[in-house]
Structure 1
Amino acid sequence: MKKQPAKTVVTENKISKPGNPYYSNTDTTKLHVSDAEWKKVLSDDVYAVMRKANTERPFTGKYWNTDEKGTYYCASCGNELFRSGAKFSSSCGWPSFFEQQNKNSVVYKVDNSLSMERTEALCGRCGGHLGHLFDDGPAPTGKRYCMNSIALDFIPDSAK
């Protein structure tokens, strides 16, 4: 039976996901959670992308074409990743940002899959696969963080 995504609950600037004890938008402690434990607490789709580095199809994710103001968090652990002010329309089919929220929110690793070298973007707290980083973004950074929508939770400014 396919697990359904956990509902995100927002109360007084705190975000939680009942059933996922590792989800917190206030705790920045690096997580060391086994793959078996992630499989228990994440929906099948989120697990496939975030723990197995799958990619959602372009133009299908819920955030690729939105411009609402707010904050994007890691769908696995709640780590704050991006502000909407850094989001831009790249027409690539995935949400794109030109900078991460802070220097520790996203970390990187070399990805040699698909017979090419790319830079994989990972959550700085839980190590979950978010997408890839490219050098074809707009000023001021010239970067394009090409993220999977399913790897992100979005909380509008109006909900905080």
Structure 2
Amino acid sequence: MFETKIYAGSREENYATALSQLKALIDGEPDRIANLANASALLAQCLPDTNWSGFYLYDGKELVLGPFQGLPACIRIPMGKGVCGTAAQTRQTQLVEDVHAFPGHIACDSATNSEIVVPLIAENGDLIGVLDIDSPEHARFDETDKEFVETFAKILVAQL
């Protein structure tokens, strides 16, 4: 679990700072992997009480592990399976208070208890993948977190 976080303000102030930093990190950088790697590191530092943040990229058939921060993870996730596969298939953010109650949850890290997954959709409507953030706390994520993570994803997708 990440113990050192770089932000100390209110949650809203921290999120505004993170969005600003994301824009600066990816501005003019065309490399997708570099941008995703920096984005996952930034999320790991700005989100307290999380144990995994990263990306699964859609290869046309399934989700494949991309850049992340945290323990080793599942490499491939079928569409419609678990929280990530459900977010990818439905193209809707999944905000899960208790992953153990989620039908078909894929347990990559047994310490994870809640999760938020945002689909990454290109401007032309193509699925790029998903942004996945896990927490060892139950009900860690709320509507404020959802709004932040969705905005974060939109900024990132515009550069991918």
Per the TM superposition, whether the score is higher than 0.5 is no
Normalised by the length of structure 1, the TM-score is: 0.28
Looking at secondary structure, tell me which structure has more strand per residue: 1
More helix by share: 2
